[in-house]
Amino acid sequence: MQRDPLLDFSGQVALVTGAASGLGRALSEALALRGARLVASDIDEAGLEALAADLTAAGAEVVTEVADVSTEATAERLVAVAVERFGSLELAVNNAGIGHPFTAFEDITEAMFDRQIAVNVRSVLFGMKHQLRQMTGQGRGTILNVSSMAGLNGAPKIGAYAAAKHAVVGMTRTAAVEHARAGLRINAICPYYTHTPLVDNAVLVPGGDTADAHALLESGCPMRRLGQPSEIIAVMLMLLSPGNTFMTGQAIAVDGGVSAL
């Protein structure tokens, strides 16, 4: 039986940053299950080892790289690893990122802002720089950047994070226009809060707990709940799909209706 081209990643080499947990791990598993060969990167060495063990046991081809994505040298090295190990790079997912506790705008510190820019912006900018160089030479490639609803709308109390995620959307659209004629596709996904370790362990309000945090976040969503990783992964696969050839420069909200308000 012929495979559905929307779900068939056979022969595709995929690079995923932030792959050790959360959406990065779930997407790595989904791509490997559908035939992709994987370069998985994260700063969490133990998490990467666990991912590699699981995927290898399932018959997938995977190489791991422990890396700090805030440096350009890392971005260049990850692309080189993909090419040296597998010969090409068809898919790149710039997923690694960090949040910060709820903070009034006037209380944002220089250190907080700089950390957001280092991890959430530099990793995407320099990641795309080196991914696009390789993909341009190949004549094919797709990039997916993980932004946030905070990259599309106002985001009270997470101003530094919002600034970084708006930058991700801007870079996505700019690079997409520059490379559209070459046939390279670049999109961003903008999820609302989703049940990942980063969110499930968050204490956003000083003196509060995770239950308080979740209740607050759920109240801001028309569906009155947080997202599930599988709901975000389904859209990520669509955006990366080799059967999706005419969508580029988009920032796709997966948000339970938040962007409709």
Q: Which residues form the catalytic set?
A: 161
Residue 13 pairs in a beta bridge with 37
Directed axis angle between helix 123-138 and helix 72-86, to 10°? 30
Amino acid identity for residue 209 in this structure: D
User: CA-CA distance, 191 to 254, in Å (whole number)?
Assistant: 5
Q: Judging by beta carbons within 10 Å of its beta carbon (0-12, 13-18, 19+), is residue 243 exposed, middle or buried?
A: exposed
Residue recorded with tokens 């040296």: 84
User: CA-CA distance, 34 to 242, in Å (whole number)?
Assistant: 12
User: CA-CA distance, 213 to 207, in Å (whole number)?
Assistant: 11
* DSSP secondary structure, 67-133, as one string: --TTSHHHHHHHHHHHHHHHS---EEEE--------B-GGG--HHHHHHHIIIIIIHHHHHHHHHHH
Give which of 44, 5, 12 is closest to 143, Cα–Cα. Answer: 12
Q: Where are the alpha helices (DSSP H) in the chain?
A: 22-33, 45-57, 72-86, 110-116, 123-138, 159-179, 197-200, 210-219, 229-240
CA 9 to chain CA centroid, Å, is 18
